[in-house]
A = this chain, B = another copy of it.
Amino acid sequence: MIPGKNELIKAAKRIKPFVHETPVLTSSSINKIIGAEIYFKCENFQRMGAFKMRGSVNAILQIPDKERAKGVVTHSSGNFAQAVALAAKSIDTKAYIVMPFNAPKVKTAAVLEYGAEVIECPPTLKDRETTAKGIVDKTGATFVHPSNDLDVILGQGTAALELIEQEGDLAYIFVPVGGGGLLAGTAMSAYHFSSQTEVIAGEPFGADDAFHSLKEGRILPSLNPNTIADGLRTSLGNINFPIIKQLVNEIIRVEENEIVDAMKLIWQRMKIVVEPSSAVALAALMREKSRFFNKKVGVILSGGNIDLENLPF
């Protein structure tokens, strides 16, 4: 059921020319505050500012040439929109991005800047899906899902694979969970390349569908998610959930103020810009820090795309 380790190695090799190998940073003051030895994998420094570039590139490169020439489609108002736009541009194909007409202008602008075509639609999931389907039918472009696609999951897993190569011997890796692509990919990388490493997800209480899904053993969709961590308002899917169920034992939920505090700590002490979703992983570690005393812990900082004019502090 879990793809083999070669699948991850091949994905890493495939995407290499199109993504950055991001640095791993440490902060002695954060280590002191939390009491653990923390290695931050900085996907905020990834191209377009988030790990989503990895999965997007991998999925697009896996489309057969003839199909790929007709372009790719996705619907997203977040980082995956930018990721598909930039990946398509880098791979030299066309991207159609379906976005709700009320999406922040800064997000639409970023997608346009990467050369994609933006198609606006009403702001419901159904409208987004219908509009995307219409484009597939009309253009023959291939639809790429942000998180529930095995090639996307394998691509996202390369961040943890790199982290394990850069800093072996981690007792834990913390990641945020939203749609589940990063969590499933990270869990696969740890399983194959660092079996003693336990993967723990952080999730906002205000969007804790993954927590409940894992507990119940079946997907419970996210109902009215409400969190500052805008990347984590989505639900798990039938492709990533079985992987998560098999490989992940624990999801730690965090309060909104804990997310903001963790984000502020990262900005102040590390002098780097991360988005709220990124801070959820550190917030989870901080919430239960006594359990991780003196442990070697990896934290994946998932991205750094944030509207500087609407900061929570």
Contact = CB atoms under 8 A, between A and B. Distances in A.
Interface of A: 23, 44-45, 49, 264, 267-268, 271-274, 304, 308-309, 311, 313
Nearest to A273: B271
A267 B305 CA distance: 10
A3 to B, nearest CB: 31
A241 to B, nearest CB: 31
Contacts of A267: 273, 308
A96 to B, nearest CB: 23
Contacts of A49: 271
A130 to B, nearest CB: 33
Contacts of A44: 271
A308 B311 contact: yes
Contacts of A45: 271
Given A271-B274, A311-B311, 6 more contacts: A267-B308, A268-B273, A272-B272, A272-B273, A273-B273, A308-B313
Contacts of A273: 267-268, 271-273
Nearest to A312: B308
A272 B272 CA distance: 4
A49 B272 CA distance: 11
A308 B308 CA distance: 11
Given A49-B271, A271-B272, A273-B273, A264 B311 contact: no
A271 B304 contact: yes
A28 to B, nearest CB: 9
A136 B45 CA distance: 46
A308 B272 contact: no
Nearest to A267: B273
Residue among A23, A268, A271, A272 with the most chain B CB within 10 A?
Answer: A271
Contacts of A268: 273, 308
Contacts of A313: 308-309
A49 B309 CA distance: 24
A264 B311 CA distance: 13
A112 B40 CA distance: 27
A292 to B, nearest CB: 23
Nearest 10 pairs of A and B residues by beta carbon: A271-B304, A271-B273, A44-B271, A308-B313, A267-B273, A272-B272, A309-B313, A45-B271, A271-B272, A267-B308
Nearest to A274: B271
A229 to B, nearest CB: 17
Nearest to A28: B47
A264 B23 CA distance: 22
A179 B23 CA distance: 34
7 contacts: A23-B23, A45-B271, A268-B273, A268-B308, A271-B274, A273-B273, A309-B313
